[in-house]
């Protein structure tokens, strides 16, 4: 049997309780992070685009830190964008979090995210700890 642990940082409990999934799942040293969006700790959408991108990465960081990890442990990310012309902005924000070695990356264009207007970015990630 695999060692599987749900990763639910403080302030993200509502994701499991109300929406029905875990922000992260740790299995034998590999952390699978569910798609993170630009909502702050008050569950409010961050409206300004660059600030929303930063919030997405801050949410990823919160999950990584919950298990003692960091961005250097991330091996793959998939980003979903409502406007692929935002890739240069996305890369500038990403580069504030990833230093030196970058993970594998796939960028996907999406007509909408979260079933609501105003969401520009969602990122899911995989990290190998240790």
State the chain's mean pLDDT as an integer: 96
**What confidence score (pLDDT) does residue 101 get?**
85
The CATH-assigned architecture of domain 4-128 is 2-Layer Sandwich (3.30)
Q: Is the pLDDT of residue 1 over 60?
A: no
Report phi then psi at 12, rounded to 5: -110, 10
Q: Model's pTM, two decimal places?
A: 0.96
**Domain map of the chain by residue range?**
4-128
Would you say the C-alpha torsion 106, 115, 127, 94 has a positive or negative sign? positive
Half-sphere exposure (Cβ direction) of 89: Cα atoms closer than 13 Å: 14
């Amino acid at each position: 049997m695999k060692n599987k642990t749900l990763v639910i940082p403080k302030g993200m409990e509502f994701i499991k309780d109300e929406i029905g999934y875990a922000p992260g799942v740790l299995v034998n040293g590999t952390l699978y992070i569910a798609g993170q969006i630009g909502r702050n700790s008050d569950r409010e959408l961050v409206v300004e685009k660059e600030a929303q991108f930063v919030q997405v990465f801050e949410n990823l960081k919160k999950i990584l830190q919950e298990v003692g990890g960091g961005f250097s442990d991330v091996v793959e990310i998939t980003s979903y964008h409502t406007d692929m012309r935002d890739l240069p902005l996305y890369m500038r924000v990403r580069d504030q979090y990833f230093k030196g070695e970058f993970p594998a990356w796939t960028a996907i264009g999406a007509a909408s995210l979260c079933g609501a207007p105003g969401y520009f970015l969602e990122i899911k990630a995989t990290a190998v700890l240790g």
